[in-house]
Amino acid sequence: MLVYLTLDLARFKSRKEFYLSPTIAPISGVSTVIPVYRSASTLLGLVDRLESTLAQVAPEFEVILVCDDGLDETWNAIVDLQTNRPWLIGIRLMRNYGQHNALLCGIRSARWPVTVTIDDDLQHPPEEIPKLLDELATGFDVVYGTPEQERHGLSRNFASRCVKFALKAAMGIEVAGDVSALRAFRTELRSAFALHSGSFVSIDVLLSWATSRFSSVRVRHLDREQGVSGYTNRKLMTHAINMLTGFSGLPLRIASLIGLTFTVFGGFSLAWVVGRYLLQGTSVAGFPFIAAIVSIFSGAQLACLGIIGEYLARIHFRSMGRPAYLVRTEAGIDKAASTATEESLDGESQR
Counting residues of the chain whose pLDDT is more than 90, the rounded percentage is: 37
Give the per-residue pLDDT at 22.
42
Q: To the nearest 10°, the Cα dihedral for 28, 84, 338, 64?
A: 80
Give the per-residue pLDDT at 88.
96
The mean predicted confidence, pLDDT, of the chain is 79
Type of residue numbered 104 = L
Give the per-residue pLDDT at 102.
95
Helix axes 233-247, 154-171, angle to 10 degrees: 10
Give the per-residue pLDDT at 255.
82
22-26, 127-131, 258-262, 339-343: which is most confident:
127-131
For the residues 101-130, what does the mean pLDDT come to? Answer: 94
Counting residues of the chain whose pLDDT is more than 70, the rounded percentage is: 72
11-20, 148-157, 203-212, 338-347: which is most confident:
203-212
Give the per-residue pLDDT at 184.
96
Is the pLDDT reported for residue 13 higher than 80?
Answer: no
Residue 343: pLDDT band by 50, 70, 90 thresholds? very low
Q: Find, among 19, 21, 12, 4, the residue nearest to 351 by Cα.
A: 21
* Alpha-carbon gap, residue 104 to 109, rounded angstroms: 9
CATH T-level fold of 20-247+325-349 = Spore Coat Polysaccharide Biosynthesis Protein SpsA; Chain A (3.90.550)
* Alpha-carbon gap, residue 190 to 206, rounded angstroms: 8
Give the per-residue pLDDT at 1.
38
Name the more confident of 1 and 68: 68
Give the per-residue pLDDT at 28.
76
How do the domains of the chain map onto residue ranges?
20-247+325-349, 250-319
Residue 15: pLDDT band by 50, 70, 90 thresholds? very low
Residue 9: pLDDT band by 50, 70, 90 thresholds? very low
Give the per-residue pLDDT at 168.
67
Do 297 and 270 form a contact (C-beta atoms < 8 A)? Answer: no
Is the pLDDT reported for residue 25 higher than 50?
Answer: no
For the question of whether the overall pTM of this predicted structure is more than 0.75, the answer is no
pLDDT tens track for 68-101: 987 788 999 999 999 889 999 999 999 999 899 9
Give the per-residue pLDDT at 171.
61
Give the per-residue pLDDT at 78.
94
* Alpha-carbon gap, residue 215 to 115, rounded angstroms: 15
